């Protein structure tokens, strides 16, 4: 599938997502019962997956042809798990910076998550969500973009769109960063299976941590209050974020080293080394449908900030 179809598919994803929000809102206003976070998650992933799959099928190409989903070595699997844990400080830093300006979205829905059985949230958030998102963003979109030969541009743009698909500035920030690291993992292995495993491990760890802290929520609340009091001053806030940045930088370097080791194991280190020198083939990945989708997405995120 070419990049133009991928861009149109993303526009349809954004329109479908907003349409879902409108339908659910009208359902509430008409007196309908509340929709569980489990069902909301399934519906949200569905409006992302369906336009992407439809675009591929309409192009006449098979999903199995477009999306590399082959096996990886056991040693690579172990290193992928280590890679994920090395990325936590980077995500924590980006999340912390974004929280200087916007609300922590995951924290806002934590009570809804904790109201469900942990196993159902692991299936929904830890497995189903990552599977859909990796098929769509590191699969359909990234692979379609890479056919232009613009490897770096493909990695960056597909990751930005991955962040935007979350439809809020908080998750956009660390989602885009995480998207880049997951895309690099796909480049290192040549398989979307690797990014799915990494994404699933990351989300599952977050779900387990959320449930593990359920019995100490009051203590956590007190700690958060103390944190806000301590870092209320501008200088203290700067010092804290500099500290987070240093830790994140160290562990991100470690993650890159791990990624390169995985590439070596999978026989793709030469390709990874060649990425900075990949020649552009004159394609502009940004098209009118994609520009419209980005404007709609950003406008929606700004609008929801004011609600």
3 state SS of 285 = coil
Cα torsion through 260, 262, 267, 268, rounded to 10 = -50
In a domain, 54, yes or no: no
The total domain count for the chain is 1
Average pLDDT over residues 167-195: 96
| Residue 102, pLDDT score | 87
| Residue 224, pLDDT score | 47
Tens digit of each residue's pLDDT (9 = 90 or more) over 206-217: 999 888 876 544
163 contacts 191 by C-beta, under 8 angstroms: no
In a domain, 189, yes or no: yes
In a domain, 297, yes or no: no
In a domain, 235, yes or no: yes
CA distances from 6 to 97, 136, 138 (A): 31, 10, 12
15 contacts 296 by C-beta, under 8 angstroms: yes
Tens digit of each residue's pLDDT (9 = 90 or more) over 228-260: 555 556 777 788 889 999 999 999 999 999 999
pLDDT at residue 226 is higher than 80: no
Which domain range does residue 229 map to? Answer: 68-282
In a domain, 202, yes or no: yes
pLDDT at residue 98 is higher than 60: yes
In a domain, 268, yes or no: yes
Which tokens go with 293? 């989708």
In a domain, 24, yes or no: no
Tens digit of each residue's pLDDT (9 = 90 or more) over 36-59: 889 999 999 999 999 999 999 999
In a domain, 38, yes or no: no
């Amino acid at each position: 599938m070419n990049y133009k179809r991928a861009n149109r598919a993303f526009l349809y994803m954004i329109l479908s997502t907003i349409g879902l929000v409108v339908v659910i809102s009208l359902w509430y206003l008409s007196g309908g019962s509340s929709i569980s976070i489990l069902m909301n998650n399934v519906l949200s992933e569905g409006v992302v997956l369906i336009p992407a799959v439809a675009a591929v099928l309409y192009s006449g190409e098979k999903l199995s042809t477009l999306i590399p989903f082959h096996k990886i070595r056991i040693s690579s699997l172990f290193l992928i798990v280590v890679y994920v844990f090395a990325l936590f400080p980077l995500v924590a830093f980006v999340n912390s910076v974004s929280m200087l300006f916007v609300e922590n979205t995951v924290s806002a829905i934590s009570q809804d998550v904790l109201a469900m059985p942990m196993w159902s949230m692991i299936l929904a958030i830890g497995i189903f969500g990552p599977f859909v998102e990796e098929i769509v963003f590191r699969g359909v979109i990234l692979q379609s973009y890479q056919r232009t030969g613009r490897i770096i541009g493909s990695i960056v743009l597909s990751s930005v769109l991955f962040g935007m698909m979350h439809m809020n500035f908080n998750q956009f920030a660390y989602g885009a960063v995480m998207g880049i690291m997951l895309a690099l993992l796909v480049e290192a292995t040549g398989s979307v299976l690797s990014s799915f495993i990494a994404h699933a491990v990351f989300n599952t760890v977050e779900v387990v941590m959320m449930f593990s802290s359920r019995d100490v929520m009051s203590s956590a609340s007190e700690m958060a209050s103390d944190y806000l009091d301590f870092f209320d001053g501008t200088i203290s806030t700067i010092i804290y974020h500099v500290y987070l940045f240093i830790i994140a930088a160290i562990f991100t370097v470690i993650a890159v080293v791990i990624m390169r080791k995985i590439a070596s194991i999978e026989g793709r280190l030469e390709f990874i080394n060649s990425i900075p020198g990949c020649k552009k083939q004159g394609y502009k990945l940004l098209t009118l449908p994609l520009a419209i989708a980005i404007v709609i997405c950003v406008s929606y995120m700004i609008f929801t900030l004011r609600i």
